[in-house]
Amino acid sequence: MFANTPVEKMFFAGRDIFLKRDDLLHPDFSGNKARKFAYFLAHEFTGVKKVICHGSPQANSLYSLSALASIKGWQCDFYVDHIASHILNNPSGNYAAAVANGANIIDLSRLGGLNPDVGTRCQAYIEQQVLPYEPAALFIPEGGRCGYAEYGVSILANEIVVWSKMHNISDLKVFLPSGTGTTALFLNQYFIRQQTDIRVVTCAVVGGDAYLRQQFSMLNSDIREHPQIVNVGKKYHFGKLYPEFYAMWQRVCASGVQFDLLYDPLGFIVLEDYLQRSEPGVVMYLHQGGLLGNETMLPRYQRKFASDI
């Protein structure tokens, strides 16, 4: 179904690391979310006519889900808390591409009669007010944080195992920045259960280490199978702009490969620190795609730091 994505060498922080190019998975359905949603692509869902999900209107998962839905011939209903007017007036990136794929993006703040203060409002609203009336719909939790993701992430894990055997590499560390931690958890779990010596090292890009550990536990209660978390050392807010993020992004993009502006800058900042503080042996960085989001992130960076860059 998917191509086995290539592994390249990359010079970073004074040494060679390997780069798993999962951004090259498929032109319309690539990277992290495509791996997580691969189960839905590979299986028949008799009677399903629609997929329902929720999240941010700029989320990579919105675009990937719209791509999945168009391949499967499903309708895609994506619930969001709010759509900022600049997104509506100036659609770009994941939002624009999802709309072009025919996704139906539903702004809950514009539906009347809702309790406005519920943080988990989208999920609760969908569970109580939508799903009971949608028997032909498949519900996928925000960001694809669900057991279904194990299927596609295991395929990715197996590609890495085969590659490391072919190159006679032992004690490989696979590094990736985490959001929900679903990818890191299912990768590490696979490496352990297949009795390999490959291990996952990650960092929390959304929330802190405690949040990430909690996310791991929701998918797997055995902490011996949880990935190693490297502390970020500083509090960053997800989706906010930081000059050191932009500087790191420019540094790694100078290698000739484009990285995403949401997860990769912090991923490489933490990886550099980790490489300097420990002797991890062979390291592979997982490029998880998400490049369409740069269409929205890059102009934000250019506006904010226009005087410095």
Ligand X SMILES: *Cc1c(COP(=O)(O)O)cnc(C)c1O
Smallest gap from residue 219 Cβ to ligand X (A) = 10
Smallest gap from residue 189 Cβ to ligand X (A) = 13
Alpha helix ranges (H) inside the chain: 31-42, 60-72, 85-89, 93-100, 121-125, 149-166, 182-193, 209-219, 243-253, 264-277, 294-304
CB-nearest residue to ligand X: 290
Q: Which residues bind ligand X (CB under 6 A)?
A: 31-33, 60, 143, 177-184, 260, 263, 288-290
Q: Which is nearer to ligand X, 207 or 280 (CB)?
A: 207
Smallest gap from residue 47 Cβ to ligand X (A) = 28
* Cβ atoms of residues 101 and 67 within 8 Å: yes
Smallest gap from residue 40 Cβ to ligand X (A) = 16
* Cβ atoms of residues 152 and 35 within 8 Å: yes
Q: Which is nearer to ligand X, 49 or 239 (CB)?
A: 239
Phi/psi of residue 282, nearest 5 degrees = -80, 130
How far apart are alpha carbons 208 and 8 in whole angstroms? 30
Smallest gap from residue 125 Cβ to ligand X (A) = 22
Q: How far is CA 76 from the centre of its chain?
A: 19
Q: Which is nearer to ligand X, 180 or 296 (CB)?
A: 180
Q: Which is nearer to ligand X, 49 or 199 (CB)?
A: 199
C-alpha dihedral (146, 147, 148, 149), degrees to nearest 10 = 70
DSSP state of 257: -
Q: Which is nearer to ligand X, 31 or 91 (CB)?
A: 31
